[in-house]
Structure 1
Amino acid sequence: MSEKHLVCQGAICSCNFGTVPDKLKVLTQSKRFINDKDGSTKLMATNMDIGAATFEKNTFGPCKMQPIPGGGYKPCQIIVTTWTGFYEKITLQDNNGKALLEDSKATCPIGGPDCIKIDNHGQISEVSQQNVENADKEVLAELMPFVDLGEEEEELAEDDLVKL
């Protein structure tokens, strides 16, 4: 993978020994947002996001590393002790943490090293007004043929110039 995405709040993670994914929560800093034009929901995740309350539901379902005599498994209780594979070149002043990448992995004391992986980095594409203004009008017209992009106003202005 040549391009790796930074991880943010809401990233989907799973454990090699669990059955359901959970969403990452960023609790170690509250100022650094990525992929969030309003700066209100997508906090950047770092290697300092560790502990017992790192995920929304704080479980990956039944833990296959904890069998119950007679069948079944104990419920997973996520405790992240450390992250590996983070980006060394970004350090947040808020928590002295390094940015997590989409291929970063976490360690749980029950599952062992690198048992928790990031399935989806949490960033989503959002089209802003600036994106539309900077886009090639011909390409937009091809992609969205039924949307009026204001070309009529430009044509009218050109016609007015010809009359002068």
Structure 2
Amino acid sequence: MSEKHLVCQGALCKCNFGTTPDKLKVLTQSKRYINDKEGSTKLMATNKDMGASNFEKNTFGPCKMQPIPGGGFKPCQIVVSTWSGFYEKITLQDNNGKALLEDSKATCPIGGQDCITIINHGQIAEISVQNLKNANKEVLAELLPFVELEDKEEEVEIIFKSN
């Protein structure tokens, strides 16, 4: 897998023939969450997330592959027929799908093979109290020289719980 991120709900995608990106919706499974400490919003995307309603707005704007006589283009209506470049070593039991990676690509019947790419995988780095507890204290002292975390553990927990 060599340092590639898994894709999740909210990943930003674009089409080579559209003008605006759209966010991926995971509709094929409802149990496997990644990058979400609450386990409620970041469903893992798989190669089974296909069809006509797997995006929030379901459009990439005007489609350059569908010109209108007299000028302009028809609006894109996203239809994913297949995904390529997914991770073969992870298979979800729920939908028998393979995990999508940040460099996976999708095929649209109008735009052609691999015309849809992932701009952002959808994961967000979040520091938790447990991360601070597990971190090397010497490294934290170098990164945060004016903060004494040992004396402030309760305050740090309160800050993380309120966010």
| Same-fold status (TM-score > 0.5) | yes
Runs (5+) with no aligned partner, structure 1: 154-164
1:4 shift after superposition: 1.2
Question: Are residues 1:50 and 2:54 paired?
Answer: no
Identity %: 82
Question: Are residues 1:59 and 2:59 paired?
Answer: yes
The one-letter code of the counterpart of 1:136 is N
1:150 shift after superposition: 2.5
Calculate the aligned-residue CA RMSD, in Å. Answer: 1.7
1:78 aligned residue: 78
TM-score, length basis structure 2: 0.88
1:147 shift after superposition: 3.2
1:140 shift after superposition: 1.9
Distance 1:40 1:2 in 2: 27
Q: How does 1:140-159 map to 2 (within 5 A)?
A: 140-151=140-151
The one-letter code of the counterpart of 1:37 is K
Q: Secondary structure at the match of 1:27?
A: coil
Distance 2:134 2:104 in 1: 34
Q: Secondary structure at the match of 2:114?
A: strand
Runs (5+) with no aligned partner, structure 2: 154-163
Q: Secondary structure at the match of 2:47?
A: coil
Distance 2:103 2:136 in 1: 34
Distance 2:152 2:22 in 1: 49
Q: Which has the greater radius of gyration?
A: 1
Q: Secondary structure at the match of 2:131?
A: helix
Distance 2:116 2:25 in 1: 14
Cα separation, partners in 2 of 1:152 and 1:120, compared to 1, 3 Å: closer
TM-score, length basis structure 1: 0.88
Distance 1:109 1:152 in 2: 57
